[in-house]
Amino acid sequence: MITVLFLGDIVGEPGREAAMRAVRIFQKSRGVDFVIANGENAAGGRGITGRIAIDLLRSGIAVITTGDHAWDQKDTAAFMATEPRLLRPVNYPQGVPGQGSIVLDTAKGKVAVMNLQGRTFMNQQLDNPFPAALAEVERLQEETSTIIVDFHAETTSEKIAMGRFLDGKVSAVLGTHTHVQTADEKILPNGTAFLCDAGMCGPEHSILGRDPRNIIKRFIDGLPTPFPVAGGPVRVCGAVIEIDEDTGLAIAIRRVSEIIGPDDE
């Protein structure tokens, strides 16, 4: 059995620090073998830089996924072209820097991670994620049966559809993007673990990781205003998935939602 920790969208410096602490805690106390985190909001709440990606990878995160904010920082494209463990959605057109999946060796066999992005209510109209996912899964299956998918999408319906579409073909389909954790974790009929949205690693007293005051002001007057990352205690959200490394099918999935601070290590 291989135990995978998947962390939802990391928001700003508070989310980064808490996520890195969570990795060390879960590796020591809960037997986690492999860690994946969505890092597309890790740089001040928008995008990710090469330096931040390196810090996250050095902390024990094996693969960083992204989404619609993947390119918000100016150095990301160049860095992504040289760092295969920082993924962008696989359904970007050909020629875009980086890659949408990776296969890594572990002590318990090869693990594949694939990054996808949905299209419903998303600003970027990428290639259809369903045929793109199927083609990439079939390619990855030539190397390993352990495949974890981050589906970065807005609507629950599109995420559930992807979970059902890939049921039995991958180990897990885990949604990201909304920063709000759902309570629908399950193992689908053919053995794929599913969670509509993993949530975020970010400030507890916030609106999607941002200072509530500016967000509320924007809703009231509609005027442009900066959305700084909030302060205070940080909640780490995600899921732990146990996978049979021989079949690649999920044995169990448990949601993670914990306040993690400097004194928790």
Q: What are phi and psi of 261, to 5 degrees?
A: -125, 180
Residue 69 annotated as catalytic: yes
Q: In this structure, are residues 56 and 16 in contact, taking their beta carbons and an 8 Å threshold?
A: yes
Q: In the structure encoding, which two tokens stand for residue 76, read together?
A: 């990301």
How is 176-212 classified by DSSP, letter by letter? ESSSS--S--EE-TTS-EEES---EEEESSSBTTB-H
**Residue 69 three-state SS:** coil
User: Are 85 and 55 within 8 A, CB to CB?
Assistant: no
Longest Cα pair distance anywhere in the chain, in angstroms? 56
Sheet harboring 186-187: ordered strands across? 101-106, 109-117, 147-152, 172-176, 193-195, 186-187
Query: 50 is written with which tokens?
Result: 């090469």
Contact 209, 231 (CB under 8 A): no
Look at residues 194, 147, 201, 200 and name the one whose alpha carbon lies nearest to residue 174.
Answer: 194
Residues with catalytic function: 69
